[in-house]
Structure 1
Amino acid sequence: MSSAPDDHGSLLRRYLPDRRFLLTLPRAVTLQILHPAIAASYGEHVHTGVWAHKQRTVDRMIKLACSGRPDPARVIRLGHEHVKGRDHAGNRYHALTPELFHFQHATYVETLVTAIDTYARPLTPESREHLYQECCDWYRSYGISTRPLPGSWPEFTEYFTDFLTTELHRTEAATELAEQSLNPPWWALGFVPGFAARAVQHERAVELLGLAEQRGDRLKFAAFSASVRAGSRAHRRPTAAPAASPRRLQSS
């Protein structure tokens, strides 16, 4: 049975607060630290480590997205207005620049889809588009310019691929942050096995960080992801067959 919108209502509110999104969150975080401006911002503005910062900000993000709060724009501006500086090449950045702010949002959107496909079931094309349009509404609620916002899921995938190819680089700051992003502590997300954090990495992060498959990860992740899917199915009707497992990786 497909996860059609008329069967399940809001896919965003169903899956964004879900444990399965948190299991996949290292994918988004690793892509983010490979953006020179975001990596630089950690050095200048984050003094508690990657996951202490993400524990706080992602929890707030989920609440804003799922609570139906009428105007989260003020919260977003208060939390990001001071985040500015220069990256490793001396280029100025500001967290509220539409292209930069949207990229961070986009990593969460792409990670959410990956989480569903990996730990729940593959979305149908219709449900994928439905979820993406919900994510567009979520982004619009922030009050940031929608100039970079693609209008459909196919347009989003084209944008995302192009952005990762042209804008992400392995800077010294990214290298320093990579180990943290690949090893979330239990207190930040709950228990996320190292092999599971490595398994969900995007191929662009694999390329830039020189990640390599670790012996034993493939079987471990196959068993782990099957267990997560089975645990979820125990509380709802049978669904379509699960997606194939992504590659299992380690830092080289």
Structure 2
Amino acid sequence: MAASETIPAPSASDGRRVPMPLVYRYLGDKRFAYTLPRALSLQILHPGNAASLVQHVHGGLWAHKQRAISEMVYIAYSSRDLRSVMRTAHTHVKGVDSLGLRYHSLNPDLFFFQHATYVETLITSIEVFHRPLRREEKDELYQQCRLWYAKYDISDRAQPADYGEFVDYFDEFCQRELVVSPDVAALRHEALHPGTWFPKKVPHAAIRALLHPRAAELLNVEPGAADRAALKAFAAQTRLRAGLTPAKYRLIPAARHRPED
């Protein structure tokens, strides 16, 4: 199959044994977890998502993300039928955001945007901590991310068909939909200063350099040369440590089971 060929996402009735070798290789890696402040800083700028974090998360933003992303990774790596998990976990997450608009976390547009931040962050994590990706590899990885999304059994109406469309969708969505809502003030510091889990190990200067340009703009962060140097040094140290670590232990615990199990 050509790398640029569009792969239809499997229907809910398909088996869970789907071919996702690039997702298996990189999603569960600790280096993806290190890059997660990039995704979260975008998520808090969506008014509905920000409201859900303020109104429904208790005990710390990053403690919540540790649980939620570990579950997300487990679902991606598992061949078990876990289609009900996401719906069950998100059914109660609804309300009115700080702009007076109703939200529900299972709304396909809101749910897919949150997933899209992880896809975009996954690609960034590979290019920062592993190696540059060729365009055809990004095409192939994106198609595998569509298969990963299908495991949630959430409407894919917002999901672009290929990587080129995904880039356009993501850029347009970030420009059109992301704003500094009143809830951002309650989330900004913790999002950029992780107090727990793997992101806690990332220097603050490196986190600044990891931010998506739209998030940096809206959060009034101006990454400079020192920030970029800190990220470059942290990435080099991380690659060195990874080279000395057995493959299994380069993964977060939720990914340490075989995809075919």
TM-score (norm 2): 0.82
What code does the residue aligned with 1:148 have? Answer: A
Counterpart position of 1:96? 106
CA distance in 2, matches of 1:61, 1:26: 16
Counterpart position of 1:174? 184
Matched residue SS, 2:35: helix
Alignment of 1:43-62 (within 5 A): 43-62=54-73
2:181 counterpart of 1:202 = no
CA distance in 2, matches of 1:213, 1:159: 25
Counterpart position of 2:28? 17
What code does the residue aligned with 2:80 have? Answer: R
Q: Is the 8 Å Cα contact of residues 55 and 189 (structure 1) preserved in structure 2?
A: no
CA distance in 2, matches of 1:144, 1:218: 37
Distance change >3 Å, CA 215–CA 151, structure 1 → 2:
closer
Q: Is the 8 Å Cα contact of residues 27 and 122 (structure 2) preserved in structure 1?
A: yes
Say how many residue pairs are matched: 227
Counterpart position of 1:248? none
2:125 counterpart of 1:115 = yes
CA distance in 2, matches of 1:165, 1:190: 29
Q: Is the 8 Å Cα contact of residues 91 and 106 (structure 2) preserved in structure 1?
A: yes
What does the per-residue CA deviation read over 1:4-29, in whole Å, with 9 as the maximum and x for residues that have no partner? Answer: xxxxx701011011011011000000
Matched residue SS, 2:95: strand
Post-superposition shift, 1:234? 5.8
Counterpart position of 2:193? 183
Post-superposition shift, 1:232? 3.8
2:75 counterpart of 1:68 = no
2:215 counterpart of 1:216 = no
CA distance in 1, matches of 2:182, 2:222: 20
Post-superposition shift, 1:92? 0.7
Counterpart position of 1:31? 42
Post-superposition shift, 1:143? 0.9
Matched residue SS, 1:142: coil
Q: Is the 8 Å Cα contact of residues 51 and 188 (structure 1) preserved in structure 2?
A: no
Q: Pick which of 167-176 and 151-160 moved more.
A: 167-176
Counterpart position of 1:126? 136
Of structures 1 and 2, the one scoring higher in RCO (CA 8 A, sep 6+) is 2
Matched residue SS, 2:202: coil
Which ranges in structure 2 are unaligned for 5 or more consecutive residues?
1-19, 247-261
2:234 counterpart of 1:229 = no
Post-superposition shift, 1:223? 1.6
CA distance in 2, matches of 1:220, 1:190: 15
Distance change >3 Å, CA 155–CA 52, structure 1 → 2:
same
CA distance in 1, matches of 2:142, 2:216: 25
CA distance in 1, matches of 2:141, 2:225: 35
TM-score (norm 1): 0.85
| Cα RMSD for the two superposed structures | 1.8
